[in-house]
A and B are shown apart, each in its own frame.
Chain A
Amino acid sequence: MAKTAVRLDSGEKGFFGSFGEAFVKGDIFTKLSFVIWGLGYIGHGQLMKALLVTFVQGLGLYFLATSGIQSLMKFGTLGTVKMESTFDFATMKNVVNNYDNSFSILLLSVVSIIVIVAMVAAGMMVVASNYDLQKIRAQGKKTNTFLQDVNVYLNEKFYVTLLTLPVLGVVIFTIVPLFILIAVAFTNYDQQHMPPSDLFTWVGFANFLTLFGGGGLTATFGYSFRKVLTWTLVWAFFATFTTFFGGVLLAMFINDKKTKLPKLWRTLFMVSIAVPQFVTLLLVRNFFSDTGIFNTMMANCGVTGLLRNMGLIHTTYIPFLTDPGWAKFTIIMINIWIGVPYQMLIATGVLMNIPADMLEAAKIDGANPVQMFFRITLPYLLNVQGPALVTDFVKNINNFNVIYLLTQDVFATHDQALAASNAKEVDLLVTWLFRLTQEYYNYKMAAVIGIMVFIVCAVFTVVSFRFINKREATFS
């Protein structure tokens, strides 16, 4: 919120250097402006600006005085007074004591810390800017009027004006929740410690220990984490590459000169995009249920009996979504079906960009279609789509929809150790996290898993982009 008061460059000396110089060499107004931002501007003849910055500073101080500081003082314990209520018959209402709400203490503390850091930084900038004004006046020149300043932000520094809102948005809606998520991972915020009726407090690294199987409460959490993480990565790999190659092949078939009515085929495959994904998934879940239409068809045409004779199933139906192995297979297959059309679209565009003379030359040199695919088309595609594949992989690590909608209420885990920590064989880290918060209110473990997901995605992205950049450098 103090960002709007940021003005003037502080030169080449670096932020702290220019502040130090300004503070030491500044006149009394410059020095005072660190405490009350407006004083310096009044002293240097910029009244309007003085009012504005003092107003912003006032807002910040008001927030800190009314709720920020109170919360920060309780930040060490996250509150000590539990909620108590007694019914008052005369007023027909509950009389509630002045209790602590651990969550709002945590929230307000995080906000306060951000506000304090921003205000100190802004204070330093104000001092630096006042020193600049002081120097301008010492040289006998005139300082900018308010209107001139406004003009600066509409012309030379228009980028500052543009970026203010998005930056504020990122801070409020991304940075603050992220800090809170990280903080919750170090508390015991769970079903037994739920605000407002109860308090939660700091527990250090206990939750991380639990996740890695050391000590902790549920002995199987470490086991479950390993299993879920493995399946998450396996799933992300298969989901990304099956849809990618499926899309490329489909696009090549449709683009082939011998294919008749390419537009019709393309449109047909696009139709599946037109139906909202979750509707498709819920319908498909019913098709593939143990007593669903697909099983009836399979039983009628004898596939079920055949599979049973081969020893692949032990039931009178095919457990498409109820047996761990089958469910994983079915999920990947269904994902191919709903993911390929998107990849086909992208691949179509990229394929059309492959220089035709290159393919022509290869053909004249006697290359067969397979050679052409592996030597020309595929390297070209990978080169162009590499970054997109990385993002797809990360997206698939967090592919909540497909897994959750296909297996929720249908799939029951057969691994009793997984069941003890509320995980399932088909869970991704995100769906496990979702179930922990929505059904078991285990926010602390969910926060730890959230951090793990972040680390996995971050590491993967950094490593693969390094790899891609290196390759790109050598490719061209």
Chain B
Amino acid sequence: MKKAIALTLAGAMALSLAACGGSASVAASESTAQSGAAESTATGAIEDVTLTMWGAEEDQDLLRQISDKFIEENKDKVNLTINIGVQSESECKDTVLNDPEAAADVYAFADDQLNQLVAAGALQEIPAEMNLEDVKTRNSPASVDAATIDGKLYAYPLTADNGYFMFYDSSFYTEEDVKSLDTMLEKAAAAGKKVSMDLANGWYLYSFYAGAGLELGLNEDGVTNFCNWNEAPGADVTQAIIDIAKNPGFVSLKDESFTGELKAGNLVAGVNGTWRANDAAEVWGDNYAACKLPTYTLNGEQVQMASFSGFKLIGVNRHSKNVGWAMMLADYVTNEENETLRFEMRGQGPSNLKALENAASPALTAVVAQSEFASLQRVGNNFWTPAESLGSILAKGNAEGKDTQALVDEAVAGITAPVA
């Protein structure tokens, strides 16, 4: 009896070891060469196809609805099962790149992740025979550009309003006020209120440097950056940002804190994106308004703030076993009818030109107005941490009093560093 217990214990120990140490992810290499030819659809038998689609948590109902329609429309050709999973679009690549073979067949992501996903071979290039021309013509040219690398389309444009712009309380500011950041800060400071923008974030920080005509982008290798923020007038831009950060009418808020401060009634305006539009509309009610970004003062002159444009895309996993049907589904999710439905249910601005004609909201108008000063977000991974570091120093008003030229020099060194 004792021995039996001892044996069981030994077994349990081995099992628990298994549970703790199971870190080796076994990536099975299969030679999938034969998988294609084996089944043929020509025989007339209806094939069973299971697809998995990932989308944002708030989009689950919408995606289910669209999937059910898709299944219904194709039931004479294929026996489809579509599983829908939750995956935030802004962090999609983190999950996909961990194991591309285990990722969903179809997934939604923000366009800044396109490069890395393509570089990792996780996206299927859309071939000409799969409705390519229609996808290219029915969507806005900027959104198609956002999904294209080297002339090849790697994803289906889904929304066109993923960039940032200015929200404001129209009972506090006039339309004239919001043209200049100086005026806005002055009025806010006088009333003891704040204008918010997250300076400690490369995504927003870019706005000032790009507005001054400085450049940031991706090298041809697809992973390292070029950046000339340390050339003139980079140091002056840095000083301008420090001045803004020190202004009593300004506060640098992280996205998570934005809504809280908004509801507490401390904010009269803020730079943010459509994902906070509902919160702003809720707090300010009918006075909620949106516009393009204002100008800021650089060496005594007014400079228009630039921005990153942003798009949401739907991609198809290259490792999918049913890549054809996955492409058909992605195509269907992004067609006019379903983008209109998305705008109605979720308020997301369509990339589809016809759907866009019928969609209207303050946020969308602001995005369109800002689009003139917006550029595609094509930056490598090395941009973010150095820019965040620079931004957080500036957001605290450069407390240590570092030389502005040295600040940008060091940031550029980090941003343009080779990928280790």
Q: Which residues of A contact B (CB under 8 A)?
A: 83, 85, 87-101, 103-105, 107, 154, 158, 161-166, 168-170, 172-174, 176-177, 180, 190-192, 194-198, 210, 216-221, 289-291, 314-315, 319, 322, 409, 412-422, 438-442, 445
Chain B positions within 8 Å of A413 at CB level: 385, 388-389, 392
Q: Which residues 6-65 in B have Cβ within 8 Å of A in the complex? A: 6-7, 10-11, 13-15, 17-18, 20-24, 26-29, 31-33, 35-37, 39-42
Docked-complex contact B388 and A158, CB < 8 angstroms? no
B310 interfacial by beta-carbon distance below 8 Å = no
Docked-complex contact A169 and B27, CB < 8 angstroms? no
Docked-complex contact A291 and B260, CB < 8 angstroms? yes
B187 interfacial by beta-carbon distance below 8 Å = no
C-alpha spacing A162/B4, complex, angstroms: 10
Given contacts A190-B419, A419-B388, 5 further A-B contacts (CB under 8 A): A165-B11, A177-B24, A196-B101, A315-B396, A322-B392
- What would 20 A/B residue contacts be, using CB atoms closer than 8 Å? A89-B129, A92-B41, A94-B318, A103-B27, A104-B29, A105-B29, A165-B14, A168-B14, A177-B21, A177-B23, A217-B417, A217-B419, A218-B417, A416-B410, A416-B411, A420-B385, A420-B414, A420-B417, A438-B98, A441-B97
B393 interfacial by beta-carbon distance below 8 Å = yes
Chain B positions within 8 Å of A210 at CB level: 420
Q: A165-B11, A314-B397, A414-B389 are in contact. Are A87 and B324 (CB under 8 A)?
A: yes
User: B346-367 vs A: 1/0 string, CB under 8 Å?
Assistant: 0000000000000000000000
Q: Which residues 386-420 in B have Cβ within 8 Å of A in the complex? A: 386, 388-393, 396-397, 399, 407, 410-411, 413-414, 417-420
B124 interfacial by beta-carbon distance below 8 Å = yes
Docked-complex contact A94 and B414, CB < 8 angstroms? no
B100 interfacial by beta-carbon distance below 8 Å = yes
Chain B positions within 8 Å of A163 at CB level: 10
Which single member of A169, A219, A422, A441 contacts B18 (CB below 8 Å)?
A169
Q: A93-B323, A173-B22, A196-B121 are in contact. Are A221 and B420 (CB under 8 A)?
A: yes
Docked-complex contact B24 and A176, CB < 8 angstroms? yes
Taking the nearest CB of chain A, how far is it from the CB of B310, in angstroms?
Answer: 20
Docked-complex contact B318 and A191, CB < 8 angstroms? no
Docked-complex contact B10 and A166, CB < 8 angstroms? yes
Chain B positions within 8 Å of A314 at CB level: 396-397, 399
C-alpha spacing A419/B410, complex, angstroms: 10
- The total number of A-B Cβ pairs within 8 Å is 206
Query: Which bucket holds chain B's interface residue count?
Result: 35 or more
B127 interfacial by beta-carbon distance below 8 Å = yes
Docked-complex contact B32 and A96, CB < 8 angstroms? yes
User: B164-202 vs A: 1/0 string, CB under 8 Å?
Assistant: 000000000000000000000000000000000000100
Docked-complex contact A87 and B323, CB < 8 angstroms? yes
C-alpha spacing A96/B321, complex, angstroms: 11
Q: Which residues 300-342 in B have Cβ within 8 Å of A in the complex? A: 318-325
Docked-complex contact A416 and B386, CB < 8 angstroms? yes
Q: A91-B36, A104-B27, A416-B389 are in contact. Are A291 and B14 (CB under 8 A)?
A: no
Chain B positions within 8 Å of A164 at CB level: 10
B369 interfacial by beta-carbon distance below 8 Å = no
C-alpha spacing A439/B381, complex, angstroms: 9
C-alpha spacing A322/B253, complex, angstroms: 13
Taking the nearest CB of chain B, how far is it from the CB of A98, in angstroms?
Answer: 5
C-alpha spacing A94/B101, complex, angstroms: 14
Docked-complex contact B324 and A172, CB < 8 angstroms? no
Q: Can you name the residue of chain A whose Cβ is closest to the Cβ of B125?
A: A87
Docked-complex contact B20 and A173, CB < 8 angstroms? yes
